[in-house]
Structure 1
Amino acid sequence: MATSITLLINLPAIASEPGKLPAQMQLTRIAADKWRADYSFSEAISRFSMPAAGDYRSTAWKPLTSGVRYQAEPSAQPDQQKDSYILDQPARQLSFQITSYNGFAPKNYAPNNRFSDGGAGIYMGFFDGDVQEGGKTRAMNLTVSYQGLSGETVIPPPAFADAERSLRAYAYFGPQKPAPAGAARLVLDPATPEWLAKLVLDTTSTMSAYFSSTYQRPLLPELVLMISVTDTSTAGFSMKGGATNGQITFRLSGKAMLNEHPAIRQLVQKLVSHEMAHIWQENVNQGGIGEAPAWIHEGGAEAMAVDALQKTGTWTAAEASNYQQTAIANCKKVADQTDNYQYAYACGLQKFMALDSDIPLLWRKLITETEKTGRNYDESMLNEVSKHLHSS
């Protein structure tokens, strides 16, 4: 007869990580330079924390809920610093008034992009964070709705299946209706000089059409490009901004833009094309751009941009070659500084040039690989794809 033995073993309990807390927020424009953010949480919370963004929250955010105080939480690691709001009593509702902010968050997106006609872009990545609920720290599953002033246009961030990804972009509030520009829609500040407005429109249309046909992938969300003008009185010319999820945003400033200039023309063409390359790099359901190494996506975008500018006739072969040679010279200056801003662009472009591969074919393969596997772009993936192309 078979004998059955039962062993009773005491094992330590393994605590499961708490799931995301469902939360909703409505962002309402209540005046030309003020917004109201009304949060509603599925459970009562005692603390609301977000990654630090310079002095943006300490100067522009004002709690409207009573018994709430702001607390900066510094850390030796910059990416661990937080802005927190501590509640005297746990609550399910939390409201803030946010005033227009013209500064920049260190190494981050501009919180506000203001247009000369009263329009504004608000970066929504600064509204997400985690909460303390029942003694546990929980990330939020945040969904957002938007309300503008009477009669104004509201363009929410592009919608993705991943709600967190949707928030890493801008919401537009203002009087403009976006104009078609190739595979994109364009919101252009009316203060943009006529020659520069035409250049942006033409470059956007040409580049978006080229990327759409060459990389053979329709965009997941429709691309929106927003150009704002901060001032035309300071010396020189500045064009700041970049690609977010499904968007490209730029802030223009400087009186040099008032008159057409070849150097500004080439800079604008390259920046629009470079940021559009990022849009196609990220045009995937999984994978895409990771934290490191930056030279993969930045140098890759440089290579994709130069290819597009030359293939469309926007740049001559000589202009493309000159740009590449300048990158080689700039890379020599920072070749041993891999964390240098310039390294990712100049040395990254040089690394892609050294692969001696057809850039569109190389990036079509990389995009396919990242979406298939969920891996972020990295050096091993680049080497694998490049080796396969050269052996086939």
Structure 2
Amino acid sequence: MRTFLILTVMATGINLLINLPAIASEPGKLPAQMQLTRIAADKWRADYSFSEAISRFSMPAAGDYRSTAWKPLTTGVHYQAEPSAQPDQPIDSYILAQPARQLSFEITSYNGFAQKNYSPNNRYSNGGAGIYMGFFDGDVQEGGKTRGMNLTVSYQGLPGETVIPPPSFSDAERSLRAYAYFGPQKPVLAGAAKLVLDPATPEWLARLILDTTSTMSAYFSSNYQRPLLRELVLMISVTDTSSPGFSMKGGATNGQITFRLSGKAMLNEHPAIRHLVQKLVAHEMAHIWQENVSQGGIGDEPAWIHEGGAEAMAIEALKNTGIWTAEEAVTYQTNASATCKKITSQSDPYHYAYACGLQKFMALNVDIPLLWRSLISETGQSGQPYSEAMLVSVSQRLRNNPSVSK
């Protein structure tokens, strides 16, 4: 196929037809389907079906998750760990002896963590499990070309089991960047959210999570004046209650919140744990509202914009609902300010995003719900992600006219 360029010479009215070489274009995404079936208490089966025969299936590595927990069931398929253009991001590849349109794996429960990544499995004490679906997407080789996938997924649990798929987005890839739940529990209502809470959660902590979730979801629904576009589900699992201390890992993942609790310190009520849990629930729920748009939202801009923004939204909500006292809110901000003075975005980018990001939002001197209602509206209308330029523009407009509310 060739491309033609027509040049029109206005002075003479002569049309010149020139043949140009075809411009190579990136191959489009390959349509694919996958069914994830729970076949036993600790095993799943992933059955892929591709629209064209493929010779290789590759995904960014997630620690040793695939090398230890994934077993190819398709004949003539072997696993290979490979380097990538990014030295710190190796690739897990499955190479097919013969091109095929079907590819199946058996996946065993995995208790480890993928370093600096999502937990592949969150296991519940009653046999339930959360499976991170982002680890099932990748690239394929088809006809000598490397192509991404447009992957749609269906889910099947054990007989009588509850299955909760990830939140649905128009972008199929984004829909996979969350967890699917398989297990015996039915979610319970917690304000504007639904909650799947591990029965091993200590009673005081379960009550705290339920109360904080209900109060925060009701507050955000009322003050941010935008009904959720997707059902909000919180999934709380307990890894163990015997290790020292207390750990609460997880966060918001595209319209969903997951936490994985561990440590024997949570067995007894403790003010420091109470304070941490309240803040984390509020912070992650703030991210849900930041992403409550059909387009736009959190992008690749500096992390302090969405993390510092979520900190500001959370503290304001905790204070105004009475979950925290005004003194507790001031103490938190004071401690964050002290942390920010000791670090830079280069020396400690993680804490900078939270502590210094919070200071940047406080320095704007703009009502936080009004500011974020405007930012959410702006990103939803423009399709552009939150950015420092957007924040400066919107906050300046609000300071000039405080009654403006988009």
- Alpha carbons of 1:338 and 1:220: their partners in 2 closer, same or farther (altered >3 Å)? farther
**What secondary structure does 1:190 align onto?**
coil
Other-structure match for 2:3:
none
The amino acid across from 2:237 in the alignment is: S
The amino acid across from 2:258 in the alignment is: T
Answering whether residue 397 of structure 2 is matched by residue 388 of structure 1, we say yes
Other-structure match for 2:193:
184
How many angstroms apart in 2 are the aligned matches of 1:117 and 1:336?
42
Q: What's the % identity of the aligned pairs? A: 83
Q: Deviations over 1:321-351 (max 9, x none)?
A: 0000010111112135365211111111111
**What secondary structure does 1:9 align onto?**
strand
**What secondary structure does 1:260 align onto?**
coil
Structure 2 counterparts to residues 296-375 of structure 1, below 5 A: 296-335=305-344, 337=346, 340-375=349-384
Answering whether residue 140 of structure 2 is matched by residue 131 of structure 1, we say yes
Other-structure match for 1:276:
285
1:9 Cα deviation from its structure 2 partner: 2.0
State the TM-score, normalized to the length of structure 1: 0.97
How many angstroms apart in 1 are the aligned matches of 2:85 and 2:140?
22
**What secondary structure does 1:204 align onto?**
helix
Q: Which of 164, 175, 181 is the equivalent residue of 1:166?
A: 175
**What secondary structure does 1:161 align onto?**
coil
Which residues of structure 2 form unaligned runs of 5+?
A: 1-10, 402-406
The amino acid across from 1:231 in the alignment is: D
Other-structure match for 2:105:
96
How many angstroms apart in 1 are the aligned matches of 2:300 and 2:61?
18
- Alpha carbons of 1:153 and 1:269: their partners in 2 closer, same or farther (altered >3 Å)? same
**What secondary structure does 1:196 align onto?**
helix
Which residues of structure 1 form unaligned runs of 5+?
A: none
Other-structure match for 1:77:
86
Other-structure match for 1:114:
123
The amino acid across from 1:191 in the alignment is: A
How many angstroms apart in 2 are the aligned matches of 1:3 and 1:325?
74
Q: Which of 251, 254, 261 is the equivalent residue of 1:245?
A: 254
How many angstroms apart in 1 are the aligned matches of 2:313 and 2:257?
16
1:75 Cα deviation from its structure 2 partner: 3.2
1:80 Cα deviation from its structure 2 partner: 5.1
Q: Which of 210, 233, 254 is the equivalent residue of 1:201?
A: 210
Other-structure match for 1:67:
76
Give the number of equivalent residue pairs.
Answer: 391
Q: Deviations over 1:356-385 (max 9, x none)?
A: 110100101110111111111111111111
Other-structure match for 2:24:
15
State the TM-score, normalized to the length of structure 2: 0.94
6-15 vs 134-143, greater mean Cα deviation: 6-15
328-337 vs 311-320, greater mean Cα deviation: 328-337
Q: Cα RMSD over matched residues?
A: 1.5
Q: Deviations over 1:158-188 (max 9, x none)?
A: 1122211111110000000000000000000
Q: Deviations over 1:30-81 (max 9, x none)?
A: 1111110000001000111112211111111111111111122223625753
How many angstroms apart in 1 are the aligned matches of 2:253 and 2:88?
19
**What secondary structure does 2:356 align onto?**
helix
The amino acid across from 2:231 in the alignment is: E
Other-structure match for 1:219:
228
1:4 Cα deviation from its structure 2 partner: 7.6
Q: Are the counterparts in 2 of residues 51 and 79 from structure 1 also a CA contact under 8 Å? A: no
